[in-house]
Amino acid sequence: MSMDLNEAWKKLAEEKLQQPFGETVAVNKKSKHPVQKLINNLLFTLGFVVFFETAFIALAVVMPQPIVKIGMVFMMAVYVFYFLINFRILKHIRATFRLDENVVHTLRAIYNNTLQSLKMQRRASLFIYPLAGTSGFFLGLSIESNVLEMLQNKFTWLALVVTVAILTPISYYLAVWLEKISYGKYLHQLHTMINELSQE
């Protein structure tokens, strides 16, 4: 397929893209271009992750009970993982979104990489959410009692199992819903663009 780059980029956005003299595409942050929307939402997600990472660090410092501190350290590790994954997606998009490459190849690489990274996060969350629910349970329990003493009571374990069993699927489907809102629409637009350009 051979297509004039200027014509290709016209098809890629609902508004005019800024094309600098350099190789990298510079799209206005308010652009409706789906790739720019993905970048904006990834930046928002990274800010969200940093906020909660800071909160978990603070809780790990102020909470006196060791088992709660361990739970907060686990959550800190989880959010480092989320930060690295989303930063990796963002870095890949910014490095790939270039004018000197085949347009369809560029967009397909962005689409596939983003889709696979999001799928990996969803799969990892199936293991993370039960442990996160346990950490949250211990945190709530520690406000009024000694967690280790309460764990000697079988009803505490029952409450923990029920809590995790309820929160895990709820958290998973909530995350899937938020992912669809944040990225699904723009990935769908990107997929449509790829199909349209491939037919040229």
In a domain, 1, yes or no: no
| Structural domains in the chain (count) | 1
For residue 200, the model assigns a pLDDT of 60
pLDDT digits (tens, 9 = 90+) for 116-139: 999 988 889 888 999 999 999 999
Pick the residue with more confidence: 81 or 28?
81
In a domain, 176, yes or no: yes
Neighbours of 98 (CB within 10 A): 13
In a domain, 84, yes or no: yes
What is the band of 177 on the pLDDT scale with cuts at 50, 70, 90? very high
In a domain, 90, yes or no: yes
In a domain, 35, yes or no: yes
What is the band of 90 on the pLDDT scale with cuts at 50, 70, 90? very high
For residue 4, the model assigns a pLDDT of 46
| Residues of the chain above pLDDT 90, percent | 52
If you write DSSP's letter for every residue of the chain in order, what string do you get?
A: ----HHHHHHHT-SSPPB--SSSB-B--TT---HHHHHHHHHHHHHHHHHHHHHHHHHHHHH---HHHHHHHHHHHHHHHHHHHHHHHHHHHHHHH-BTTS-HHHHHHHHHHHHHHHHHHHHHHHHHHHHHHHHHHHHHHHHTTS-HHHHTTSHHHHHHHHHHHHHHHHHHHHHHHHHHIIIIIHHHHHHHHHHHHHHT-
Least confident of 14-18, 145-149, 169-173: 14-18
Q: Which domain holds residue 80?
A: 31-198
Least confident of 45-54, 75-84, 92-101, 183-192: 92-101
For residue 100, the model assigns a pLDDT of 56
- Average pLDDT over the chain reads 83
In a domain, 152, yes or no: yes
In a domain, 71, yes or no: yes
In a domain, 144, yes or no: yes
